[in-house]
Amino acid sequence: MPFIAMRRTDIPNGVLQVLDLFPNTSLRNLIYDPPGQTKYVNRLVNDTLAPLVANQTTAEYQGIAAYLLDVTADGVTTRSITVTQANTAAAAIITRVNSGLTLTAANITTVLVAAGCGAGTTIVGAGGAGQSAGSVADLLKIVAGGTYVLPAGTTRNPGVARPAGTAGDFIPGTYRDTYDTGALAISFGEGSLAVYTSAVFDYLGTTGAALTVYANDGTLYV
């Protein structure tokens, strides 16, 4: 399941549309055709987390930092990571997205450790107490425009083992999955995606690739 991410910040949501995938979302036969594939590609969302009060979030948050705080256990202490670590790691992940770089599990671990988390900290885990509960695919879904929401009042205490499971979730209907089909390969090779991922793509006089296509392990789609 590839993920199509907007890497530029100067292109508004609702502008870039990939129309050469199949089936067309607007024209498909609702009885016979699988879910539509054509769609707009929107920029990721990332709210900056405020400090916890009494070990709880003080507002509802969306995006990468919220996801990291929710799912990640420190690789050494097994405790929840801190707000500062989540914000710092999210900023580094966004820098990688903007640069069109890979987002593999190893890349994410490197980012988390650089943000102050313990050696080997990963978002991937079984989800039990003291374990991370995330996945590379879910992080890529956020990077590709999916809306992940962490509720206000979520308890994350760096002094104790990270709670089992997750407190947040994706809002249904805010993201359309993309599948690795022949139409996608053609689009990437010589169609809309080839244009949008090209270093010579021009938007209002500014040249540079607008999109990055990721495989579901965080490597670049080829």
Residue 113, token pair as written in the block:
């450790």
* pLDDT confidence of residue 32: 61
Q: What is the pLDDT of residue 38?
A: 87
Q: How confident is the model at residue 26 (pLDDT cuts 50, 70, 90)?
A: low
pLDDT score of 134:
98
Q: Say whether pLDDT at 66 is over 90.
A: yes
Predicted pLDDT of residue 33? 66
Quote the pLDDT of residue 209.
Answer: 98
pTM of the model: 0.94
**Predicted confidence band of residue 118 (pLDDT cuts 50, 70, 90):** very high
Any idea of the CA torsion for 59, 61, 67, 73, to the nearest 10 degrees?
-20
* Secondary structure class of 214 (helix, strand, coil): strand
Residue the block writes with tokens 């593999």: 104
- Taking only the tens place, the pLDDT of each residue in 85-112 is 999 999 999 999 999 999 999 999 999 9
DSSP letter at 79 equals B
pLDDT at 176 over 80: yes
Q: Give the pLDDT confidence of 121-147 residue by residue, as tens digits.
A: 999 999 999 999 999 999 999 999 999
pLDDT in tens, 185-211: 999 999 999 999 999 999 999 999 999
What is the pLDDT of the chain when averaged over all its residues? 95
Q: What is the pLDDT of residue 174?
A: 85
Q: In this structure, is the dihedral angle defined by the CA atoms of residues 111, 115, 212 and 174, taken in order, positive or negative? A: positive
3-state DSSP assignment of residue 5:
strand
Short-list 150, 156, 163, CA closest to 59: 150
Helices (runs of H) and strands (runs of E) counted in the chain:
6, 9
| CA 93/CA 14 separation, integer angstroms | 23
Q: pLDDT digit string (tens) for 27-57? A: 655 666 667 678 999 999 999 999 999 999 9
pLDDT confidence of residue 175: 92
DSSP state of 163: P
Strand partners, 4: 213
DSSP classification of residue 115: T
Share of the chain above pLDDT 70, in %: 95
Vertex 61 angle, CA 56 and 63, to 5°: 130
What distance in Å separates the CA atoms of residue 168 and residue 146, rounded to the nearest whole number? 13
Using alpha carbons, select from 167, 161, 142, 4 the residue that is nearest to residue 70: 167
Band the pLDDT of 173: cuts 50, 70, 90. Answer: confident
